[in-house]
Each structure stands twice: as structure tokens, then as C-alpha cells.
Structure 1
Amino acid sequence: MRGSVLGKTKHHQSCIKPASQPQMLLLQPPQQRLKVPPPSVPFDKCQVEENEKIQCGTRDITAEQCENINCCFDGRQCYYGKAVTVQCTRDGQFVVVVARDATLPHIDVDSVSLLEANNPSCTPAGVTAAFAIFQFPVTACGTTIKEEEGYVVYENHMSSSYEVGIGPRGSITRDSHFELLFQCRYSGTAVEALVLEVNALPPPVPVAAAGPLRVELRLGNGECLSKGCVEEEVAYSSFYTRADYPITKVLREPVHVEVRLLERSDPNIVLNLEHCWATSTPNPHSLPQWDLLVDGCPYHDDRYITTVVPVDGSSGLQYPSHHKRFIIKMFTFVDQNTFTPQQDTVFIHCATAVCYPSSTNSCAQPCHRQRRAVAAVRKASSNQRALVSSGEVILTEERTTSAPDTKSNR
């Protein structure tokens, strides 16, 4: 992402060495039991492309043994699925396998690292386009040790880097920020693995905002259900209602925005968007902020540039010039100083103006226009302007496509 300072800031960045035949990583198949609940949404973690499969366990492992260590078996081999798999071996080793597809948006597996990222022995044993494989002693790589209810507990932490866009009034990210706190618990008779979830969502707070003009900002929720449908057209076929807020989105998920003029029947007038931006609170003047449209045009210092959707006679609308549409990719605000993800809520605001076309002013907002044209478009009295805001849009906790897999051996 590019901000106005071209802010490509990476955090928790690790030094990852190239993969060296990760499919040859051989582990003794421990007898393990699942320590986390099954996923609430059905997801087939075993749908892994043939050329991306990483061997799990020894070559002679049986289907039952493979299932016991929470891996996948295709009739020929045991392999890791699209999940985060944590295993503890009898000889005191952590084995952590992180799949690219374990979250939405997908993890950049090259950016995943342990606490002691600069220690060569703590870098991945192998990295492919789809997986990062870590194997290290339970006493190494920053592991903490404690005793708890008859167990010796070894605990470590893993996280990923993410890219930050730095703007003049705020900073954002659209990358998944993956964090994993995991344990190996050893007693006299058993070994258990445990994954602790982090980054819980705050409770939602419903919010509404309105402007003095009858202008409405709403978010489309139409879905493509047939082959060949055009998402940009279908998305605006239906909209969230006030009762639907707060709504949830994941990072980089498209947010389809429409601003429309209400209770006007003059087909000649034009609704223009002077400025659209996002905040983390319902107050449009609060900081931080992130620009979406400036003078009706996409904010150019954003790698995931806003898409302006043309609205014309083919839209089927009675007054196409009374509508403006654009698409953004969901993001979250980050702290200006530490660049850590800070806010999980986003509110969208637009300053609008009603324009009356004339022989000298077409009311068009071409993004290559000169300053003189910008000034002409802005000639509108105060009662022809309105500030309109969306309801609350909540960033979901990286929507995991499967629950983290944890296994122990007894």
C-alpha cells in the first residue's frame, strides 16, 4: 500500500530462509487428541493442490494415524491441510505448520516468524508458496516455561508482518495480521498441545448519522449467484437496511458504496461527491482519517485504489445523475506511532453537492480536469450541500477458514 509518504512499513518481519524439500520433513506420528472446538463454518481443509502438499508424519503412516495427528490422507500420503497445525513430539519438539489459506485474506507465509526471528535455528524449516513449517526444541526460540496443575508448560508466540499505508491524517492496513500463542504441556504420562486465540473483537456499537439535505449513503449487499454475472451490477441490486448495522467485513473485502439524492425529480441536476473519507468513529471530523475520494476522484496514494462505478442510463435507475457509486477494499486503522492495528470499526463519510449544469459547467468530475474546473464544480450554496455517513462497518477477526489444529501425543 502506498500512502502519501509512500509508507511501506513492515512489522514483526522475520528472516526466512528458502525452502529445502519441505516435503521430506519426517515426524514420528504422535498419538494426539484435539484441544480446540471444530470450526463453526464447514470448510474442507484437505482440498490442497497436489503440487502444494507437504508430507505429515512418516511415509508408512496409516490413514488412522494421519487422522489422529489432524492431518489429511488422500489414499496415498498423509499431508498438512489448509489450517494452522500445532504438534508436540515426545522428544520435546514444537512442530507448527501455517497454511497460507488459514485466514481471509490469505497470510503471507514469508512474513510469519517466531519471537527470536533473527536466530537462524528459529527460522522455518521449510517455506513454500502455500505453507511455512517450523520445527524447534520446546526450550528454544523465546519459549517460556512454567508449572501448572501437574504439567510443565512450554509457551511460545508467532506472528506475521503486515504492510501499512501512511496518509496525512491517518494510517491503515489491509493485510491479515496473524498471531498465534501456543503451548506444549508435558506431564508424567501425556503430552498436549494447546492454541490460545488472540485479537478478540470488541462488542459492536450501532451508530447512525444523517445530513441536512435528503442525501443517503448506503452499502450494497447483492451477491452473484449465477455464472457470468457482473459483481458491480449485482452488488447494487439490494442494500443493507438500518436494522442490518453494524455489518461485518474482512480485510480487502469489497465494500460497495452508493450515495443518492432523495426527493428530487429534476432529471437535469447532478449529485457530485466532493470528498469521501473513512474514520474509526461516527464523528466525521475525528482522527484518524483515510481519504477514499478527493474531488470525486480516487485517492491516488492508496495501492488498493477506490473504484468509481459509472452510473448511466443502462443502470435502470429513473434518475441516474442522482446517484454516485464506488467500491473500496476493507481496511483497519493502525496507530500512527507504533503502526499496530488499533480500530476494528470503520465509518464512511461523503461531502456532497448538488450541481446545476450550464453552458459553462457540465457538472462532470473527470479526474484529469484542471483546477479551474474543480472550482466551477464547487459553486453551490450551503443548502445544496450535505454531509452523509454510513452506519458502522466492523472488521471481523481474520475470518479463519478452519479452526487451528492442535495435537498432542500421549
Structure 2
Amino acid sequence: MQGPDNMSISPTLMWTLLAAVILVCQARLNTQLDSKTGKRCMGNLMRLSLDKALAVGNQLEVEAINGSQRVLLTPALAAQCGYSMESDPWGNTRIYTSLLGCYVHNTDTMFHVGLKLDMFNLTSPEIVSHNVQKTCSYSRWAQREVLCDRNYMEVSQLLSEPDSPTDPKAPKDSSVKDDPQMNALPGVTDILHPEPITMVQREAEQAGYGAQTTAQRLVIRSPYHRPETYSEEVAGIPMEVLRVSVYYSAPAGLSVIDLSAACPIGYLVAHAPLTHPLVDNSARLTELYLGMNGQRLDQSLLSVRGYSLTTRDFNIVVDIPLGAPDGYYKSHAPEQQYHVTFSVEPMLEVLWKASNGQETRYKVLFPITTPLMARPPQAYDQTVAESRVFSLLAGTFLQDVELKNITFLSGTFSVEECVKRGFKVLHQDHPNGTRSFSVQLGFDEDVVRRRNPERLVTLYSLPLTLGFMILPELSPFSLSVELVASLYDVVHPSLSGDCDQEMFDITVAYGNQGSNFETFETRVGSVTLTAENAGQYYFRENATHFAISVPYSALNTAFEMLTSDSVRARLDVLLWDPTNKWPVGDLSLICYFPLITIQCFPNGSVSAVALKLESVPKLQLDRLRLRDRSCRPLLTSERSVLFSFTVDSCGTSRKFVDNYVVYENEISLDHRGWGNPTTDPEYRQHVSCYYKVDRSVVVGFGLGPSSTPVAEVGNGQMAVHMTILVLWPEDFPLPKFLQEPVFVDVSLLSSDPRLELILQDCWATNSPDRSSVPRWDLIVDTCANPEDLYLTELLPVLSDVRGRLPAHIKRFVIKMFTFTQESIPSDQIHIHCDTVICNTNDRTDGACKGQCQTFPVVFHQVCTHCRRDFGPLLHTDLL
């Protein structure tokens, strides 16, 4: 046996099969080859089947065994020598060998096929080899045999014995001697296309054709789409045709044999012409068989599998239903759109008998693949809202489709990453060869969008894109879907509140819309609560609640009503959803807080506090006056004023009621010189002081000169009192913000008009001990400390509402500050003073020359964030 002379072909053209890359463990090839291969003789073919378990992840090389030689079968050499291979996407492989192939040991009735299989993995240097040997017996040769395989056409002709020139089966003009050199076929070949092209055997083999003889047959083989072949339409079926005349020398002289082969090409319906260019019109059809994958099927199998084989007009018609068990579906994704095809390889075998008795056997192995059939992926939303879990079912697909990743709004995650995040991603293979995928994840995952179309309704939406991959081609496609579910599950925050003597205490329970106070806007009065200002409201929180405490005197409360001993204040708290523009909770808390607005002193002095009430929002407090319009407020802030006067001044009237003498005045708005009055209600606040009259005394008096009293020198004790001036009575410590004014009043507890109080030195410490450190001087040698950045200001005292003598009183104001030790601020300061009491008639003592004077300051505001505790000044941070 000899093959073509050009069998030495570049290794780069190796005939290999790279099997489908399917996620299955690699087979142990050296132990499974025998059990995973199948060898079967099928007429003039031998089929070798390899199970997909062998091919998964491996590369296969096939060599033909030619005696002691091994010939690597490249695709070109395989078509030239009668070998073909077919593999489905899952790695199931079939190798067909023509019994008339180049490297088959041939005795015309017994045929021995030898193949060597080399399997290796690209990631491993190990190569597993296996020799396959199979002997087939085939004696039913027709005088002419035509074989149409997937990659070649083959035609063989029986050669007549020389002593039987009249043999009806002998070809015309043939005379062949039983000469061993016949196998060498040293003659000349004419290939008609349509004009003859003359080649010697070597030239024909170099052109890709196969030409050989056996003991009894002449064989010609051609790959498809050669320059010397041509197309011809027969009964509407396109055929590729090869016509060859072989000339050779025989003992009787030069002889010629005409050979031809015609095979269907490029046709998607299993039709074959009933009449054929290989036979004349007188030939009749004597045998007709249908098979699959090279193997004949009997009539019972044809019926069970739904196949039919009929003759119709000029055609042989094969009907094969889609999804037939001998075929397979395959996925495709042109332009990332999911499609499928169905492929099947029917075998048609026909025997014609001509009128002269010559038989022609025609066998076609014709793979058929349907056009692309669109199968748009379907997504089924199986979400049950009450379970709070999104559930998506996608499918169905073929089992060569894998889910590779899922894209959410926040990014793309592989299936493994999704599983690590707690998502449930599964696939299910069905008995009919399809596959579906399911994805489940909870409503609370961060990839889920939420919004509230109504106050109590949450709309959950999950946009996602499933990224698929088709194996082994690694062709991608995707399916985008948005799942939507709604629930009446909104639990809004709840608000509750209470009051103590100074504070509104507000508590907010978060609900289920967020566990952070910044989930919604919290509006405390007219101020929005933020991380920056939360400290002003003594903010505290935990996982379920947050709470604030707001002084009733804070600017964001509302004063509704004022009595002589209390004020009715209101705090409005609103929780606002800025996204949906609606309120999610609110509370208006109204409480009475103790406040002495009028104080009547035994010495006839009166102090009265006026507040800006909500009912007169445009009230200008600095325009408030007593009946005597020249009597202005002593102290003014943004929301309150303090009047101080005596009962015999500022237009105060007097009347007697039973055993009481009643002094009355009124605080009202001075409209003089202020243009048009506002539309606000008229502001009037009545001030009354009741003094009980429990006895009447008749006093006589006379006029006369008085002698000058003489002071007697002696020893004794005198008391000095220091207080912090506030708008209303307070306890210590007093909370103060940094740089907030602190008014200090130092008075001598004496009624002797000849005495004067002088502040010698004043300083501050962070403890009650006057000698402790650190220490900061406020007044030094009767004057403000010149080294203080915020200079202490000494205030003039012209009169006193309590009836004290101005010389007995010293007042000054400082800016609140704090000590810092090791970068940690102290939260308290204590003020200490050394005083000198002087005789106004004797200024010889240097300290009695008078208090050092500074420029007067205008009082603008008093503390509005005060707590009543005993103790020192308490520093309060703004943040």
C-alpha cells in the first residue's frame, strides 16, 4: 500500500480536534481509552467513536498506521486519503475511514485499519497514545461505488479479468492484466472541467487528488471545491461533480477507464436526485436505505424515530423531525442575540442497476444544519413580594450555555462573587437537554433600588443583566430585565416628647426607613438638625432612637403666652423626606416653664421682663417703653427685654385695694417716629406690684440745722457680694458658649453712703481654689488686664433697680473662655476678686483713687441657653 508522494506535510497543518471546553474533570486517558472508544464496520466504511469524556479539555492528533510507519493525518491528507472526522460541541467524536483509503491494508474482501490516537492537554506535557486496530470484511462491492463524505468524494471501479472480455460488468475499452505494478498506476489522468486537463499521477496527487488501485479496483478521490471539479444542478439539487478518464498501459495496449462522482453540496434539506448524472436514464433503483452517522437504520427504527424516506417525482426525500435523537442542537449568538441550530448527519445509500446489468452503489454522508433559529431568552419574574426576596427564572437555553456574570447598577459581579455576597444563583438541567438559571436575592440588598410612590408603600426594583457564554466558542450574549415589587411596609419614625423645668426633651424612634438621624431632615423649629449643630441640642443616639434636648429659651422655640410666673412655649419638630417632598413625622410640644417676669422689691424698685410672643412676630423689642416713653429697657436681646424702675418713676400709678397698695405700669410699643404701624396685634403687658398695708403710722417732722456726724474709729466686718447678671434667675453652673458675654456684678452689702467699693484684682481659675493654677488675670490694679486679647470691660453704674448705692456696685463683662491642659479644654471657670472699701472723704490710699475706667459697651444679648445648677460657669461647645 502506498499513499500520495506528498504525505510529508508541515506540522503546522496537523489534523487536530480541539474538543469542547466543558466544565468536567479531565479524564485519565491512559486508563479509559479502551472503554471510551467504539469501532464499527459499516459497509465500505469503518467508524471509530470517541466518548466526550476523552476529549474534554484535550487535543487529539490522529495518525494512520502504514505498516511500520506513522503518518500524521492533516486535513488535506485526510481528504486525499479517505479519512474524515466529525465532533459535536460536547466532544463526542467520530472518525470515518474509507476501506479503500490510502493506508488501509486491502485484500478486496478483508480490510485492516490501523490508527494511532495521541491525546494531550495544553497545560500538561504528558501525551497519551493509543493504537486502534480494526479488521472489516466487505464483499458486496458494486461494479462502481461512489462515496460522498463530508470532506471528499470517492469513486471506485471494478477491474475485469483479462480472460473475460465479454464480462458484462467490465468497463468499456478496458483490458487489465493481473500485474502487481497496477497498484502504482503509472498512467495518465484526464480530469474534465469541462475541458480535459491532463495530469500524470504525481501531478494529480500534488494537486490534492487521490489515485490508487487495489487487486480488483481502481480508486479516485477528490476533496471538494477543487479547481478541476464543477457544480451542476440535478433535479433542483446542487451537486459537485468530478469526471476523470484514467489512461494506463496494459498488455493489450493503452486502456482507459471513465470515472465520475457527484455529491450534493450546500443544501439544507435532505433531498437527493432520483435520477443521477452517474447513471443513464435506463437505470433503475433497486435498493434504498437511510441511516444516521454512517449506520443503516431498519424500518422499525425509522418509524420509532419519526424518519421517512420517500421518492417524489425526480427526488429522493428524507424527512427528519427537528430534535431527532440522532442530531443535536447548538447555541449561537450572532450580534449577541441568542439563536439555535439543529444538526444531523443522515446517510443515504442507493443502488442503481443499469440495463446492461452494471450496478452503481451510491452512499452519501451528508451533514445537515438548519439556518439560525432565533430563541430570544425569556425571563420569568417569580417574586412573591411578601417573602421580600426577588426571584428570577431565565431560560430555557441549551446546555452549552453558562451564566458567567450579573451586572447590577453598582457593578458587574461574577457568579462566584454573587454567591459570596449571599445571592442564590443556580442552574437546572432538564431531561429534554435544556437548561434554566435562577437568581434570588433579598429586598434589603444594596443592589436593590427603593422608592416610595406613596407614604406607606415601598417600591423595590432590581435592574440586572445576566451575562451568558456559549461553549466552547466563548460567544457572549446577555439578557436584561428589571424586577419590580411593592409592599405596604413603611414604618415611619415616631416622635414623643416631655419637658422639665428648662428643656424640651424629644425622642425619635427611627422606624424601618433608616437608622440614622440624617435619613430624613429633622427640622427643630426653623433650624435643620445637622451633625455640626447637633451638640447644641445635647444630641444622643443609638441603633433605634435619637434624642435631643432643647432649652425653652432657644431661638427655635415659640413663646405663646406670658404670665407673671411662667411662659408657655412650644417646640415644633418636623421629619421631612427631601426625596419625596413629604413629611414623615411631626410633633408640637407645648409646655409651661417657670419664669418670674415681674419682681417687686421692698425698697420700691421693680424689674419686668417682656418677651417676643409668636402672636406678634414683627415686634421690635427695642421700641418697647413704659408709660413714660423716656423709660427704655435696661437690657435687650433678640427675644426679650428687661425693664428696671422704681414705683415712683416712669409713669407708675398707685391705688389702694383693700389692705394693699398697688403700683401699676404698662409695657407697650412706642409708635412715635417709626412710620406706619404694623398689622401685628397691639402689644401690651401689664406690670403690677402689690404691697401689703398692715398699719398706719403718723409721723411728725420739723426743719432745723443738723450737726456733722463724727465717725468713730473701730474694727468690724463688711460683706461683699459677687453675682453673674442674667436676664432671669439662674442657678450655677451657667452654661456659656465661647466668647459669649458674661456680666459680673460685685456689690458692697452696706448702706453707708460714705463708702465706695473698688475692685483691686480679679482673676479666673478652673477650680474653686482661688490660689490654684492655671490662672488668668481679668482686672489688675483696678484696671482691665491689658494682655487679654478680649479686654475685660468695666461698666459704669449710674443707678440700681434694687435701690443700692452706685458707689457700692462695680460691674464688668468678660468674654467666655476656657483653660486648655494638654490640649484638653477644661469645661469650667471660677471668678475671684480682691476688693478695697474706701472712704469717699479720704483718698490718701493709692487704691482709693478710683476704679480704672474703660469705654462703655452696649449690651446686646443675654444667655439664652442656661441651666440652673449650683456651681461655677460651665463652658459649652458649639459643636
Using the size of structure 1 for normalisation, the TM-score is: 0.37
Considering only CA atoms, is the larger Rg found in Structure 1 or Structure 2?
A: 2
Structure ranking higher in helix proportion? 1
Q: Which has the higher contact order (CA 8 A, sep 6+)?
A: 1
**Structure-2-length-normalised TM-score:** 0.19
Flag the structure with higher strand content: 2
